[in-house]
Amino acid sequence: MSVTRRTATNVLLDTALKNFYGAAEEMGLSENLIAILSSSERRLEVSVPVEMDDGSIRVFKGYRVQHSSAIGPAKGGIRFHPDVDVDECEALAMLMTWKCSLAGIPYGGAKGGIACDPLTMSAKEKERMSRAFAARIAPIIGTWQDVPAPDVNTGGQEMVWFMDTISKLRGHVEPGVFTGKPISYWGSKGRTAATGYGVATCGLELLRALGKEPKAATVAVQGFGNVGSYTASTMVEAGAKVLAISDVTGTYYSPKGIDIKKAFEHISSHPKKLLEGFTCDGCEKKGLSDVLFAECDILFPCALEGAINDKTVGEVKAKYIVEGANGPVTPEGDAILDKKGVLVVPDFLANSGGVIGSYFEWAQNLSGYFWTEEEYNSRLMHIMKGNFKLVWDYAQSRKVKMRRAAFMAAIQRVADVERLRGVFL
């Protein structure tokens, strides 16, 4: 029996579905399983009323999408951004399912967020918004149900507000219901740098697989938030030269190499944690997208989705791309990169260090026993290296791109569990 395939107007959701359908067909997955895995289990939209500092009330739209709980509790971040909508959340939730599956951890996929501009809000306004959102989604989240984490424009502080709100609503401490918390409040050493550390580890493993030395490699990193900054610093520690970094204020380029330590110090002292005003030896400020077009060995797109598309891909000069963001390369851009011979390490392999780190924090919360940072990083590197080798070997043996290999390996695990569980009526 033929099953009608979903289409989407949202670019990211359309990309996620196209990648899924392509891999599923190549695997010979049944139409029944394709129908199940192409749809999310739950899409929740909530209104989030917030009293602003001037006494007015604004109502924001909030979302939480749970794509799959076949393997375990749903897992995925919560972002604060003006462009957040339910379709974006669904696409990212689906990617989280494959990311968790590929990583071999006992989670399904979810994602959520609030459509807002946090850069225009005070700390008190963000706190009131965070607590209201946590209360609205409380019925569908829990330690063994759905475990949110930080994402774009959220971090440890927001996770504290979320956790404290849920704990008060339920009358007891709920440390395992959110991850990405500060170390002082049930957080885990090593978690802050986990995603960027994992992205860089994939970059280094790629160089190793190609027989290249990190000390001879040049790098460009789009985005200097939590992921991009730690990706850059880890690559520098390995000996690579970072030629360009960027954030919403523009691209900062130096042929001598960016002083990443100085860049860290700059954003730490900037009131909005931005690179605005940053300078270093030989540094030149360029346009927002120029970081994508730097002539380098590895480009790490670590900002928002869709950055490399059919309009921008022609100017990309990097030999390899390691995706730090979710969906930074569109299918059209991916096809052109393939024709150009640019090897791409896909997002849900490269940036899975964050969710693996969240799994570590969750496991520590459940046991009440915390690891050292050395233990944490050692376990993270072991898993990231193993996952990279799994996908690399799969791609080489099947003669497919790494993205397709990663999708096939991830989908297979979820499909196997769906077969075992059957359809609950």
User: 415 is written with which tokens?
Assistant: 């499909």
Cα dihedral angle (153, 129, 67, 144), rounded to 10 degrees?
100
Helix (H, G, I), strand (E, B) or coil at 329: strand
| Catalytic position from the list 75, 99, 111, 181 | 111
What is the rounded CA–CA span in Å between residue 377 and residue 425? 43
Q: In degrees, to the nearest 5, what angle opens at C-alpha 196 toward C-alphas 130 and 77?
A: 25
Q: What's at 268, amino acid-wise?
A: S
Annotated active-site residue 319? The verdict is no
Return the amino acid letter for 161. Answer: W
Rounded to the nearest 5 percent, the helix, strand and coil shares of the chain are 50, 20, 35
Q: What is the 3-state secondary structure (H, E, C) of 63-109?
A: EEEEEECCCCCEEEEEEEECCCCHHHHHHHHHHHHHHHHHHCCCCEE
What distance in Å separates the CA atoms of residue 51 and residue 98, rounded to the nearest whole number?
A: 38
The β-bridge partners of 81 are: 115
Q: What is the DSSP string of 174-227?
A: -GGG--S--GGGT--TTTTTHHHHHHHHHHHHHHHHTT--GGG-EEEEE--SHH
Query: Where in the sequence numbering do the catalytic residues fall?
Result: 111
